[in-house]
Amino acid sequence: MKKFILFDLDGTLIDGVDDLVVAMNTVLAGFALPPLQRPALEVMLGDGMRMLTRRAFAAHNMTLPAMAFEAACEKFLAVYEATGYAHTRLYAGVAETLRRLHRDGWVIGLASNKPTLPCISILARLKVDDLFRDRKSVV
């Protein structure tokens, strides 16, 4: 019988806040709004990118009209992807734990409200993407 384990990505396996700060501050700058510092953005996290965007603008007492909001979300995603996730890191001990689970026969799954492509890219950049594939299964 196979053993399965599922991990959340953000805040559990990785700290990606600094790349989110870069992306959000780029979006805010496009509206001539001052940047947010990491601690301010951290309390806004949860519930996905769209809610983060709403909260970031609300922190500046601003609500965007629908079209501007959609454009801000698209800009956020583009800038976030362009960071190459350069400041995203695994938490201490995560790589070792994942490797041990994989060695012990666990099939490791990932849950995230991030789109799939950034998840794959982040795992590859952090050199743990191979641990999220069950190489014995035929799909």
pLDDT, tens digit, for every residue of 52-111? 999 999 999 999 999 999 999 999 999 999 999 999 999 999 999 999 999 999 999 999
34: left (phi over 0), alpha (psi -120 to 50) or beta: beta
pTM given for the model: 0.88
Catalytic residue status for 10: no
Compute the mean pLDDT over every residue in the chain, rounded to the nearest whole number: 93
- Of 8, 18, 19, 134, the active-site residue reads 8
Domains of the chain, first to last: 3-14+88-132 (3.40.50.1000), 17-82 (1.10.150.240)
- pLDDT reported for residue 40: 98
Q: Contact at 8 Å (CB) between 27 and 55?
A: no
